[in-house]
């Protein structure tokens, strides 16, 4: 019996494939309540590290014998100590999360959404520990990446696997919950970087404006990515329709909620735009479109293949944010009693404008925790 390391990739495979796992999280209670690992068949218990310094015997009756056990902490050290004690006390294999929750926050898993009508494929990149989603269209040796995260090696490695070159990097809006990789990815690959012009008023770098009804094409197979102006989360927020089948909604519409309009301090100004996008612009679309958001918040939003998506018509029946007919009630819902704002959201906005350039370690710390881009 021994202590073994489990990588973030191995843990993600367990979560996505809905395998059994028992997690002992030894972070403090506040950190645990704010953000934790979730999965359909994941059982989790929080006992702070300092409560286990004198021994782990008290926790043994609460650990199931029929599930793999992993201990997690913020950066790895505490979990290794506790895992060692469990191995000795329980005479069983025990894992610790390599790199801790810090590494879990940065792991990105590519998941295939489906094949496109005229050839090519659409992939969803799931940052499972943060709840961030980005996308890549690959067709005819060319690719378009949408809402890429700062972990750009994930995309360049995937492009190599697919023998594709990046043609366009696109941000649907100016992000406030995570640092965009769009501009850096474009610089690395020679791709063009697009962002909505209304969100780029204060940026310090060159870009191509993403305008309503723009069409971006990858390869020779007529795979069109059509821009659809849909403000509300930000003034420039723009959705993308891919292959006339998929609606990439950015942070305007999620599977279980809707986008919040307050992260630039303009909730009262933008709430009307948000309602217009959700209740008019989207309602005019084909309701068989599959919604692909830029975030998810609950494990239940994943299907059995690890994808986060749902038909638009289903969301109009089941998403509470789309059920509010009274405009004044809607206004109160999205401007009052909002959840906490994302960690370091203003610093992240400034970084995405190019106005500050934090060091890599600082970027990691800025992004720790859940995304919090939804109203609820």
**Start and end residues for every CATH 3.60.15.10 domain found in the chain:** 108-367
Coil, helix or strand for 19? coil
Residues 287, 317 contacting (CB under 8 angstroms): no
Characterize the bridge pairing of strands 223-229 and 215-218. antiparallel
What pLDDT score does 231 carry?
67
User: In sequence order, what are the residues at sequence separation of 6 or more whose Cβ sits closer than 8 angstroms to the Cβ of residue 115?
Assistant: 121, 122
What pLDDT score does 301 carry?
92
pLDDT along the chain (376 residues), means of 10: 95 92 97 91 96 93 96 96 95 96 94 93 95 96 97 98 98 93 96 95 93 88 70 82 94 91 66 90 96 92 93 97 92 78 82 94 85 61
**Start and end residues for every CATH 3.40.250.10 domain found in the chain:** 3-104
Residues 95, 71 contacting (CB under 8 angstroms): yes
Residues 103, 97 contacting (CB under 8 angstroms): yes
What pLDDT score does 255 carry?
96
CATH architecture observed for domain 3-104: 3-Layer(aba) Sandwich (3.40)
Residues 136, 123 contacting (CB under 8 angstroms): yes
What pLDDT score does 51 carry?
95
What pLDDT score does 197 carry?
93
What pLDDT score does 295 carry?
94
Q: Is 73 a catalytic residue?
A: yes
What pLDDT score does 90 carry?
92
What pLDDT score does 259 carry?
86
Active-site residue among 14, 56, 63, 73?
73
Residues 284, 362 contacting (CB under 8 angstroms): no
What pLDDT score does 47 carry?
97
CA distance 27 to 210: 42
What pLDDT score does 223 carry?
58
CA distance 153 to 158: 8
Q: Which CATH number does the domain 108-367 belong to among 3.30.565.10, 3.60.15.10, 3.40.50.10490, 3.30.1490.20?
A: 3.60.15.10
Q: Where are the beta strands (DSSP E) in 171-255?
A: 192-195, 208-209, 215-218, 223-229, 238-242, 246-250
Tokens of 313: 């018509």
**Would you put residue 181 in left (φ > 0), alpha (ψ -120 to 50) or beta?**
alpha
Characterize the bridge pairing of strands 109-115 and 69-72. unpaired
Tokens of 370: 């859940």
């Amino acid at each position: 019996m021994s202590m073994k390391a489990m990588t973030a990739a191995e843990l993600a495979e367990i979560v996505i494939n809905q395998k059994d796992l028992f997690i002992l999280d030894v972070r403090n209670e506040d950190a645990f309540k704010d953000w934790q690992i979730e999965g359909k068949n994941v059982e989790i218990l929080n006992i702070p590290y300092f409560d286990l310094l004198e021994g782990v015997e008290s926790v043994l009756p609460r650990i199931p014998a029929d599930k793999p056990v992993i201990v997690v902490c913020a950066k790895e050290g505490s979990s290794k100590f506790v895992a060692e004690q469990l191995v000795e006390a329980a005479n069983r294999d025990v894992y610790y999360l390599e790199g801790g929750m810090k590494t879990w926050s940065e792991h990105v898993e590519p998941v295939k959404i489906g094949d496109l009508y005229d050839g090519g494929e659409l992939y969803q990149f799931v940052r499972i520990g943060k709840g961030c989603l980005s996308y890549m269209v690959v067709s005819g040796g060319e690719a378009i990446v949408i809402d890429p995260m700062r972990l750009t090696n994930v995309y360049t490695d995937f492009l190599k696997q697919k023998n594709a070159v990046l043609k366009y990097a696109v941000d649907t809006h100016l992000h406030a919950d995570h640092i965009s990789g769009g501009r850096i990815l474009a610089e690395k690959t020679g791709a063009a970087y697009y962002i909505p012009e209304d969100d780029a008023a204060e940026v310090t770098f060159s870009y191509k404006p993403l305008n309503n009804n723009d069409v971006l094409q990858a390869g020779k197979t007529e795979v069109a990515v059509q821009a659809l102006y849909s403000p509300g989360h930000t003034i420039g927020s723009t959705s993308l329709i891919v292959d006339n089948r998929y609606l990439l909604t950015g942070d305007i519409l999620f599977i279980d909620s809707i986008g919040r309009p307050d992260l630039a301090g303009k909730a009262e100004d933008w709430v009307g735009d948000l309602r217009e996008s959700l209740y008019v612009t989207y309602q005019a679309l084909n309701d068989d479109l599959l919604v692909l958001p830029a975030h998810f918040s609950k494990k239940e939003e994943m299907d059995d293949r690890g994808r986060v998506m749902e038909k638009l018509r289903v969301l109009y029946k089941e998403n509470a944010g789309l059920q509010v007919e009274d405009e004044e009630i809607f206004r109160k819902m999205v401007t009052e009693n909002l959840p906490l704002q994302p960690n370091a959201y203003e610093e992240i906005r400034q970084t995405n404008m190019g106005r500050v350039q934090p060091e890599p370690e600082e970027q990691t710390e800025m992004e720790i925790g859940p995304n919090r881009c939804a109203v609820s």
